[in-house]
Chains A and B, each alone.
Chain A
């Protein structure tokens, strides 16, 4: 039985998540302790800032499930109330579906984010290193990674940026094609401007100039990008050089006016100019947007793009849910087949034992056979046994994949006296 116990950002407030995260992280031999719980066959745990989850293959006993739950609550220092309201327990199809949704980033705070897949892979790698997983979880995890890959390639869930700073980078790419060698001017040293600049530089933009009222702050930020710091008075000259301008000062009036941009058009030889105004109140005169080859986006424009992209992600999420359902059905079918496997193995081994015993009994007269005839008789006997076993083995596999395997497996064990 597959079981998943845990909590996430939807069920638990940050304070509870923090407590559980810290409590579990501090434990040494966490996996070994978990494997020591009665009935736990395979296990792995996933810790991220938004979720703490245990995934296990266990013997079918309600006690094991309860013990896993209380184990987590105990190490996290959760109160009984928190345990009841925050922890969830899924089993079988629901647990598999939840895992596939998590890995495919359908359960993430920002749907479609790429980080979670890496975190799940890391959790699996740790469990593998400590031999905490076996056939059921190994197969389950590979299926989960496959589902995540399908979701990424068959839907556009991660296609468009859903943060303001990434939206700005995407726009810059749509304007310039490549950001390699593009000159960036940062006006003001706000956090948001810094984040946007970091993303731009990460995508190839270089030659960063920081203009700020406080020279010290400008120098500090410029040093981070190995750029130069200038004062706000030299803004006119810097505007002529820049390709991308990010502005986020606390100034009460416009820092960049239409006239300033118009004045430097000739010097710029009409090069494309992308202005990102993330300040409130605005830093850049909206009239600038009317100038040819100049593209001005303020915080609302960027937020509109982000909202639109979020809407698209949610739409793509519906397609992704369908993929998850398909993959769950396939895995559950394989898992059910697995339940019949021990019976099939016992049946085959019993048949082999019978063949071997009977051949030994007959060895007296078979030894008198001419060259090669003994092998032919042995092959014939094996062939007959395999043919007889083929039908019950196939039926057991098929039945157990489609329906509950218990009745057919029990019948087979009784018919062939496998438990004697």
Chain B
């Protein structure tokens, strides 16, 4: 990583840390202004991360320099991009209290990774792999957003059902907005992940033969895809909305994170990304 690239990464990391602290503090002191300021700080971090990735992209030596740091940074970038984009349409500033820690987690993980560690073996490199990676990351990023909105929905729902909206209830976004974000997350995340997985499958069939089917990460991704596909189906066809969708999406995120950690540390996988 060049020194300029490193500076941009530090800007992103520091901004995201400050934004996370600001968002969490806004929930504690119950001031939405703090959450608004944190959104601007997060936007600054997003610009830093964009420049970091852009700089890395124009100075890259192709696949050989595409390491885990970039993979995790792109993950953080996608989530931040979607969240900030949503801020133009909905007044859901405090949702950042759930989203910013996720972004920060990916950035911290990225900071600990070597940049020159070759992520994708030379024989697997190609446009289909790029498509597979980009779409899978974007799809999963959207699922994270949908789940975060779901978690916040559950809190707001509880406050309203117990007839005690209070200062926290006033601070959190409305149920309608949170349900809409959950809907959008699933609606866009599912097709992106679907195309991403299909891209990966086509590639794997030709390059690896049958061995990829037994890969734990493939099975895990398939499970996530099926769970979210089921949720989207129930939403669109059956009309599931509100608290049930929120609870299931949030449960999906917990399973997603737990299985990601399990696979990373306990099982061998050809998707050795994180």
Contact = CB atoms under 8 A, between A and B. Distances in A.
Interface of A: 159-160, 170-171, 173-178, 266, 268-272, 289, 292-293, 295, 297, 301, 304-305, 308
B59 interface: no
B186 interface: no
B172 to A, nearest CB: 8
B233 to A, nearest CB: 14
20 contacts: A159-B170, A160-B170, A171-B165, A173-B174, A174-B156, A174-B165, A175-B174, A266-B239, A268-B239, A269-B241, A270-B239, A270-B240, A270-B244, A271-B241, A272-B175, A272-B176, A272-B242, A301-B163, A304-B163, A305-B165
B243 A292 contact: yes
Contact of B176 (A178, A266, A305): A178
B241 A270 contact: yes
Given A174-B174, A176-B175, A269-B239, 4 more contacts: A160-B170, A175-B174, A266-B239, A301-B163
A177 B242 contact: no
B5 interface: no
Contacts of A177: 90, 173-177, 180
B241 A175 contact: no
A177 B172 CA distance: 11
Nearest to B92: A177
A175 B240 contact: no
B169 interface: yes
Interface string B144-175: 00000000000010001101011001100111
Contacts of B170: 159-160, 170, 174
Interface residues of B, number: 22
Contacts of A270: 239-242, 244
Interface of B: 90, 156, 160-161, 163, 165-166, 169-170, 173-177, 179-180, 239-244
Contacts of B174: 173-177
A286 to B, nearest CB: 12
Nearest to B245: A270
Contacts of B179: 272
A240 to B, nearest CB: 12
A289 B161 CA distance: 8
A247 B240 CA distance: 27
A293 B242 contact: yes
A332 B180 CA distance: 54
Contact of B160 (A159, A174, A269, A308): A174
Contact of B169 (A174, A268, A289): A174
B175 A292 contact: no
Nearest to B159: A174
B244 A292 contact: yes
Give 4 nearest A-B pairs by CB, closest first: A269-B239, A177-B176, A177-B174, A293-B242
Nearest to B160: A295
B185 to A, nearest CB: 16
Contacts of A305: 163, 165
B67 to A, nearest CB: 42
A176 B173 CA distance: 10
A271 B169 CA distance: 20
Contacts of A301: 163
A29 to B, nearest CB: 49
Nearest to A182: B176
A266 B237 CA distance: 11
A293 B241 contact: yes
B36 to A, nearest CB: 15
Nearest to A270: B241
A171 B156 CA distance: 11
A174 B153 CA distance: 11
A174 B163 CA distance: 12
A160 B161 CA distance: 19
B175 A174 contact: yes
B242 A292 contact: yes
Contacts of A271: 241
B163 A176 contact: no
A308 B175 CA distance: 22
A160 B166 CA distance: 10
A253 to B, nearest CB: 23
